[in-house]
Structure 1
């Protein structure tokens, strides 16, 4: 029998690391070739990592929430034959451990003697390391452990340097810490009542960082305009009585955006603030902000101008289902040039959308409501909806933004205009 180390593969698009979301196996499990081992996520998609060989899970290389660099060890299996981790590799790794070890580090000394830093000897030296050999803070800092494990150890008053590590490369796992507490008879610090710490992972962590970066680096200008969609709703109701799939307001908004950016192409663009370069696009790739179980994602309707209402409705429905089911890949979740966000019936009167950087514009669709509107002689019931649109004020002036929103309003209030070809800019 031998050991087979599986490393984090290169999953494309220049990704240097991926976040571990969930282990699909446990230590001791039998796995077959191509069986999924773990789910990881990047800023593009969530993917499963399959096993290239059959074997038994020997150790796990990280804990959920940790980032793993491409090429770093992900998991280790016990396999028939020699495996890919031989004595030479273990000796070389032990030599590196000896070279970096400092006097008094009991774990480094035992690792060097054993010649295998990933397999700890159950010696008295490890059970009861000398406290005087190293300062507690310095020792803990040298030990590999997930942030959550460090937090639990800190709350329990435990020096991680005193904990027998069973994870790869001397990593202290949650199970190692629990076993140490049981042996020592120490009880974990009681959790504060009515308090729960939840670590952001995966899409939620990515979304949080992107929103923070967009809000910090992009000076937003937001324009809220009310739109009378009575005629649009009448047309939509009529169309849905004769055709499938059902058309929502979003295909109409997409069609209005395509027409509007045809007249103002600066809104269908990306801004690279590192090189101060605006990149304008000819096709309009509309991102549709979609709520998924694991967070907010933006599937992309490519070349929206080439789709009719029903094709656009079908594509929105298809991509939304793929996002909610976790089937959307990198191709479906990247490449948008302008984004639409809508909370549907839950939408408020107005919102302040945050730009999907590096785009320069986002159009927010708010809730429809029937309101009494003055027509010059009397109040009449009209179906009203507000558009809340935000723009990157570094490259979009207020006048241009107002003109863009006014054009959207005109097209949506007179939906027949959406089906009349417009002259190209400058014609």
Structure 2
């Protein structure tokens, strides 16, 4: 019998260390060649470590949340034969399959990947981060008929969820997102009716959640944010969107996002200071000619930003298709590292839960982030062709912006918002040219 020391391999891209996100083995477990050992997170991606040998695990390097240097021992395995006292074959690394849900308007149109299907690790898992419960409408009573699609009902049945206990975040119709919120809130404590007392718990901040915490803290610490909010009348745009969707055929359904992205791309050549990165150490602002637009996406693990490359060269349908593709890739855990980095400006949307106004945090080193909010119906004074005013019911949406005041002046942000308002309120201008 001998011992094989598995060292953390060079994952590439100049990475010097990686964080242990999860263990798939513990001391005493038998592992087969190519069997999963641990998930390691770098600044770019989560990578799965596989064993190059078969044997029994006798040592592990640390716990989830610990940071391990490249080349240091990760796992020691007792093997038949001499082990690797003199040399070790190159260990393998494979990209981890992650279950991610992208938050985009009408994301329910994309067929969901079933959640919670990953096998549980052999060791006791770390507590999962529990998102704050979402303020939503009261659940229907037990005697009321619950509105939900067959797919949602089947998924709830498979998960053992009573739909009466789930609350809708929108119009009373339960969707997959409502099941996800229910699962997240009840994680680790079993399914409990609303109002049930829960025990206190301590959750270790590791993996993606720690990266998010570090990035958000660095952004707020280093960037002097200022916010600007403007009101948009989207009645005509919503009518245009509905008309285009009626004849879309097999093309993806258009949401608000492709229109907003197209309008933003039309304006950025006039406002290049918004489509930029600021290297504060070098004192250099890089203004980009292409628009690599990030879409802030909420996942069970935390916030991620898939990137639409060269958004300025895509039409509405192509943008809708790319948003759908990125959403599906994220859910399947197939999003590449290059699809999760390199954005030059970001749009963040909470869809129907977008609130009245937001103050989004800038995705450093970018200098601007744009956040559409919830559409509401409101009585408004409007003028007819003769100039006479009357009251009409209109669809209104606020759009929020946060900008880096070191690079973007308040006048620039306000001017951009007013030009964006002209395009959004006259959708023919978005489609022209």
TM over 0.5: yes
**Secondary structure at 1:6 match in 2:** strand
Residue pairs, 1:63-142, within 5 angstroms: 63-85=63-85
Counterpart position of 2:222: 217
| Pick aligned residue for 2:401 from 384, 389, 396 | 389
Tell me if 1:33 matches 2:37. Answer: no
Shift of residue 326 of structure 1?
A: 3.2
Report the equivalent of 1:52. Answer: 52
- 1:43 and 2:43 matched: yes
Deviations 1:324-382 (A, max 9, x none): 44332311110000000000011100000110000000000100011111114221111
Alignment of 1:195 with 2:207, yes or no, is: no
Aligned 1:191-270 pairs, distance under 5 A:
194-243=199-248, 244-270=251-277
CA–CA separation in structure 1 for the residues paired with 2:315 and 2:32: 47
Which range is displaced more, 344-353 or 15-24? 15-24
Kindly state the Cα deviation for residue 320 of structure 1 after the two structures are TM-superposed: 2.0
Contact preservation (8 Å) 1:287, 1:301: yes
Question: Which residue is 2:413 aligned to?
Answer: 401
Map Cα deviations across residues 215-256 of structure 1 (whole Å, 9 max, x no partner): 111001110001111111111111112212111111111111
Unpaired runs of 5+ residues, structure 1, are 90-147, 149-192, 422-427
Looking at structure 1, the residues matched to 427 and 18 of structure 2 have their Cα atoms a distance apart, in angstroms, of 45
- In structure 1, the residue matched to 2:15 is 15
Structure 1, 262-271 or 23-32: larger mean CA deviation: 23-32
Q: Within the alignment, does 1:302 sit opposite 2:309 as a pair?
A: yes
298, 306, 316: which is aligned to 1:291?
A: 298
**Deviation digits for residues 301-333 of structure 1, max 9, x if unmatched?**
111112121221121122123324433231111
1:48-67 superposed Cα distances (whole Å, 9 cap, x missing partner):
11222232222211111111
For residues 97-143 of structure 1, what are the alpha-carbon distances to aligned partners after superposition, in whole Å with 9 as ceiling and x for unaligned? xxxxxxxxxxxxxxxxxxxxxxxxxxxxxxxxxxxxxxxxxxxxxxx
TM-score normalised by length of structure 2: 0.71
Match of 1:411 among 410, 416, 423: 423
Residue 194 of structure 1 deviates from its aligned partner by 4.6
Contact 1:43 1:203 in 2 (8 A): no
Shift of 1:10: 1.9
1:4–1:78 CA contact under 8 A, matched in 2: yes
Q: CA deviation at 1:264?
A: 1.3
Q: Which of 312, 324, 343 matches 1:317?
A: 324
What is the SS of the residue equivalent to 2:339?
coil
1:300 touches 1:335 (CA, 8 Å); kept in 2?
yes
**Secondary structure of 1:221 counterpart:** strand
- Match of residue 326 from structure 1: 333
Separation (CA, whole Å) in 1 of partners of 2:348 and 2:15 = 27
Deviations 1:381-404 (A, max 9, x none): 111100000100001111111111
**Residue 360 (str. 1) matches residue 372 (str. 2):** no
Work out whether 1:337 is the aligned partner of 2:344: yes
Structure 2 CA distance, aligned partners of 1:291 and 1:77? 38
Gapped runs of 5+ residues in structure 2?
89-125, 127-197, 384-388
d(CA) in 1 for partners of 2:45, 2:330: 10
Q: Give 2:184's aligned residue.
A: none
Query: 1:58 and 1:67 mapped to 2: Cα distance?
Result: 20
Which of 1 and 2 has higher RCO (CA within 8 Å, sep 6+)?
2
Q: If you compute each CA radius of gyration, which structure gives the higher value, 1 or 2?
A: 1
Cα distance in 1, alignment partners of residues 372 and 40 from structure 2: 33
Equivalent of 2:280 in 273, 276, 283: 273
* SS, match of residue 366 in structure 2: coil
Q: RMSD of the alignment, in Å?
A: 1.9
Q: Give, in angstroms, the shift of residue 273 of structure 1.
A: 0.4
Maintained 8 Å contact 1:46/1:329: no
